[in-house]
Structure 1
């Protein structure tokens, strides 16, 4: 379908509704789950270290699953992968509500998130196949918009219910949009071309996945265990070995997981690197901000969640604006605008922490949210145009994995600076580290240069 026929009018709107609901359903529990971890720990009479894996393991699995499921979609059709992934995610969301102990909760939710990872790369690939070039950026913006709003809806609609009946209701609530999205997807989502002449690269998948897992585990557990812990040190040693092996494997195989020439193509590698940097600043701030609000202002979990709501709302608005302004996918200055706002907002967060000003903190949350939403939408649009249509699944999956790795690094750096402190100075230093990281995105994204192409000339040009 890469050359048409395109979905138009009511058909296009129904397709977007189906994809948007699937994407939103997988991110629905994020904010409320983070706020409920201590309650879950108490219910299971478990420890903070164990319960932390309720969030850590699914997050790692989600990041690792995206490139692999994206490649499966490229080979076997994204409709099939999207529907199977959403169906499994729906089933395990329901089962999560009945987990009898913390270990089953971690396992069931992790499996659900691995399957749910299919909605990202396959959703982008279906948009690229079903919609004309002029509409892709706007549609990607819509996916990011609703994905950003989904946790907000969960807090507003689900918060009072969870306070009344407990945390298990969160996953029963998640099941409802999952089922609706699944029914819509079965009826509406079109199939993309399959590549029957190409086999799935198992060796490449293993080396890429194990390498990424090693890096993510090393970065994630360094804060809890210390950088000199044997497990952390072994993980830091593992990932470069595995990724070096991945490059060797990909050079020798006739059916690579990720064609290596894309890494030399600036229109792919630069947006991917930029996403990693911006997510390091954004996610690090996202994790530290609620801790700061609780420690500096003494707010409850519910009130802290409400303070955070402006950020995902601003993220969604930024995504929507980017989708409308970025139709030609030609302007590096649009990327500079989004990342510039992320930088400005990060420094405002520094000032808010240093002065204990809730007003400045809210301004910083809104500015960073808008900037990141704007930046992320344009970057995904760049990535989708930088590769052959048959490789969009793996390309967007790798970009998402880079974002996850960046977010893990940013979270570790900023959390280590704060540690157990209640001092304004330490929170200010933490946000300053995030602001410095955000600044790195400006010279990187300056290198993006993409000329406009017509719908008929979607096939990417050679490496720049």
Structure 2
């Protein structure tokens, strides 16, 4: 039994940082009312966490190699806990958004070290069991997030959503220091600060431009100027990475059709989760549901995703990734199309079937996405592949929330109309991603292990 304590320490941290991507979904209206926050500010409360997490992932792998995976993991937990305390005590949206950004830094430190920490302890059959439990925990975090957020918000207030993290962080830090392998630091590893800054400016400018466009229109100075800044920052990022011997991301890989296709599919797969932000807002503020009822209304997606991940991970092992990925993205789109058509007098039950279908799609794409990504990378770049997948997934969620905010606010009218526009767009993304996956995603060269061997790529810490 003692040999599974390291897995428990890693799974607890993973559960925490993933939970904070979904637990706020039904609490947003209460945050808006309490802090007098407009919709653009609430968008940033949601998007700044995955945005900073995505940007920070590019450097946290290098820091883990330099200082040791356990040290970075525990530091990330500590930062995450302190930021959660600041979120719970926030007196205005500026403080809350800043604290959420710091949470993202801590979350990145946890996310990038998980595979290295598991790989340092488990081998052979134990590795398979460990990764199975780890996958179930990631699905569980998504499944319980909306319901847990609803219960806490309704009975204890939205601040309890953040305060809940504090005892869990304390337990995880204590357990991690006791049972996790310390690893071997390598002071020779260098952090690519210029590349990180350029990537952060590019992603942040795009997200902020979309947010301002939703509030002020596409002719506003911010909506016109910030995309140009993002393009300039992207050009700088490409130039910096091309000149590095150990880049954060080998941008030359984008010349491969299979690589570009699978990264696009990673981004497309996050659209359904981004749409949940606006589904929740419509349920709470449009249809007048309380936090618990809104959380219950979203459960068909979460439960269908969790069950499909558990069953599909075993039943679909060895199936061509492009087939499973294409089917999953198509179901994402079909589910969102079934949800569209909501009216101001509709009931939450009218969304149930569509949410469940979307959940099945999400459950299919999750387990197979890693296989598709690793097939698109050279075998010796598996560490970079893991980091790129997580980075693009978080970045995609950030940009979709910002982009859907433009559609949600466009033209005014009832919230249900805005949600329908978001759902139609999400359905289109799912269908387009499905077609792209079917024709362009590469097949793996051969059977791969559940956990590919990590190298010292700076987007994923090596096992110790």
**Both structures adopt the same fold (TM-score exceeding 0.5):** yes
What is the 5 A alignment of 1:177-326? 177-190=168-181, 196-264=187-255, 268-280=259-271, 282-294=272-284, 297-325=287-315
Aligned match of 1:439: 431
Give the Å deviation of 1:134. 7.7
- Relative to structure 1, the CA distance from residue 285 to residue 47 in structure 2 (aligned partners, 3 Å threshold; closer, same or farther) is closer
- Relative to structure 1, the CA distance from residue 233 to residue 135 in structure 2 (aligned partners, 3 Å threshold; closer, same or farther) is farther
Structure 1 residues without counterparts, runs of 5 or longer: 1-8
- Relative to structure 1, the CA distance from residue 202 to residue 321 in structure 2 (aligned partners, 3 Å threshold; closer, same or farther) is same
Determine whether 1:399 maps to 2:399: no
Of 139, 161, 185, the match for 1:170 = 161
Aligned match of 1:336: 326
Greater mean deviation of Cα atoms: 120-129 or 445-454: 120-129
Query: Secondary structure of the equivalent of 1:55?
Result: helix
Structure 2 residues without counterparts, runs of 5 or longer: 455-464
Determine whether 1:61 maps to 2:52: yes
Of 89, 92, 98, the match for 2:80 = 89
Aligned match of 1:27: 18
Aligned match of 2:422: 430
**CA offset digits 1:346-387 (Å, max 9, x no partner):** 222235669947445111111112211320232134435655
TM-score normalized by the length of structure 2 = 0.82
Q: Is the 8 A contact 2:53 2:107 kept in 1?
A: yes
Task: Give, in whole Å, the separation in 2 of the partners of 1:144 and 1:306.
Answer: 23
Query: Secondary structure of the equivalent of 2:24?
Result: helix
**CA offset digits 1:300-322 (Å, max 9, x no partner):** 34322221122222222233234
Q: Is the 8 A contact 1:200 1:257 kept in 2?
A: no
Task: Give, in whole Å, the separation in 1 of the partners of 2:159 and 2:226.
Answer: 34
Q: How many residues align?
A: 450
Query: Secondary structure of the equivalent of 1:440?
Result: helix
Of 369, 374, 383, the match for 2:373 = 383
**CA offset digits 1:270-324 (Å, max 9, x no partner):** 33221101212x1342123223434664423432222112222222223323432
Of 425, 445, 448, the match for 2:442 = 448
Aligned match of 1:146: 137
Q: Is the 8 A contact 1:31 1:305 kept in 2?
A: no
Task: Give, in whole Å, the separation in 1 of the partners of 2:371 and 2:17.
Answer: 21
Greater mean deviation of Cα atoms: 253-262 or 108-117: 253-262
Greater mean deviation of Cα atoms: 260-269 or 227-236: 260-269
Q: Is the 8 A contact 1:35 1:305 kept in 2?
A: yes
**CA offset digits 1:224-262 (Å, max 9, x no partner):** 232222122222111221112212112222232223344
Task: Give, in whole Å, the separation in 2 of the partners of 1:345 and 1:254.
Answer: 44
TM-score normalized by the length of structure 1 = 0.82
Task: Give, in whole Å, the separation in 1 of the partners of 2:251 and 2:127.
Answer: 25
Q: Is the 8 A contact 2:40 2:211 kept in 1?
A: no
Task: Give, in whole Å, the separation in 2 of the partners of 1:216 and 1:45.
Answer: 22
Determine whether 1:361 maps to 2:351: yes
Give the Å deviation of 1:61. 1.6
RMSD: 3.6
What is the 5 A alignment of 1:405-420? 405-419=395-409, 420=412
